[in-house]
Structure 1
Amino acid sequence: MYKILANTIFLGKQVLFLPECHSTNDRALEMIRSGHAGDGTIVICGHQSAGKGQRGNTWEAEPGMNLTFSLVLKTGFLDVSEQFYLNMMVSNSIRKVLQDYLPDLQVKWPNDLVVPGKGKIGGILIENILSSSSWEYAVVGIGLNINQRRFGTSKATSLALITGGSYGLEELFKLLVSEIEQGVIALKKGKLQMVRESYLGHLYLRGKWAVFRAGENELEGKILGVTAEGMLQMELRGGVVRTFGLKEISFPEI
């Protein structure tokens, strides 16, 4: 299962499958530092016991039911200031693969995959290795709820729960990796504006008034977009435009 991929150029030419691990991102980072991972290496795990999410959250997943994997990418083709384009590209790629099953799938800033009214189906966590002058590697951690049907939180859902079907994990994995590789190639060709427009075109709550929480305060705002650095741009009631970082604002329930 999860063998070296034949339908890609560089992604998945080294695939490490682990029946169980704490975190595929941690394992991939260890492999980079020990010299055992190169551009395109993939670590995939049948059961991730301590998967990481944004804001220090853990990722809940039943063994053998979902997709949890990490991609190693050499990122010299992007400037350090362009890091968020990688987030946008990966989000776009996953949405493109899953949209045939989930036409309402959207990206919740910065990189959660959600179906409005149903819940969160997946997320992305990118961890970087930077030198004093450049961005050397990105480890792209991806967690997608595919066949799991029971969750400890009402915020989570899965492809199977929404559609009523069941899905082959390996086939979906191959489709996702192939699409992400095409996204990497687009970034290498400098198609940054195309990536940004696709991301903004499916950004959850963009252009809609909603109540958010910033610290102890509630505020009513309308998402306008994101800055080049990945900050969320929002218009508040009264016309003031503000930007927010990851830990500075919370979204309403999906």
Structure 2
Amino acid sequence: MNHDTAVDRACAALADAQRILFITGAGISADSGLPTYRGIGGLYHERLTAEGLTIEEALSGEMMAQRPDIAWRYIAEIEANCRDARPNAAHRLIAELERERSGVWVLTQNVDGLHRAAGSQKLIEVHGTVHRLRCTECPHNRNVPDFSGLSLPPACPLCGGVLRPDVVLFGEMLPTHALDRLQTILAGGLDAVVSIGTTSVFPYIAGPVWWAQQHGIAVVEINPGDTEVSHLASVRLRMGAAQAMQEIWGRLHPA
């Protein structure tokens, strides 16, 4: 299938769709300058930390509990390297579609907050966000624009406990409220599923694509490479997220 035909088919699948689930991974933020391997953890691809740890060990729930200074050192370093990132066209156009149609949702693995910054409100941040801190000892939590000015590890102003980013660290369970919300969306029915910039290696990310395929619902995949769900897609756009969403938007909204 040539490029123009694939874009036309993607547009046909989305033209009348009101209920769309966008599933996004690190690839959607690549055009914002963020690395794609392990999302923002891509800075440590194939290299160890100064302590001789893998990034999975350094950014684990166990490390946060036992040595929060180590976990925070690398969380803060990664956040600092990604601090200037801004939403790109893909983030912005998904948010525009949400405003335009009644049932557009985003399920994202990314913790960078770029979907929210672009204006998406029907958003499931299944791995959390680095822009919210919560206390490990009491219910206190607060939003932060970035980590500049924080003492590491930061202390809770209420109880003195350690604050941590409200993200799912390696070895931790996913938030049940996020998974419950996803199940509610699927139970309510969808017109299309769009997978963007994710290899879909996690069952909870591939699951909605399998569900859509089994229910005869159109699946559009936007990814330059092959993924775990490519064979399930109704239409595949082998390109970056920003370019693909701009082409789709342009054809759905001709001048």
Bigger-Rg structure (1/2): 2
Q: Which has the higher strand share?
A: 1
Is the structural similarity TM-score above 0.5? Answer: no
Q: Which has the higher helix share?
A: 2
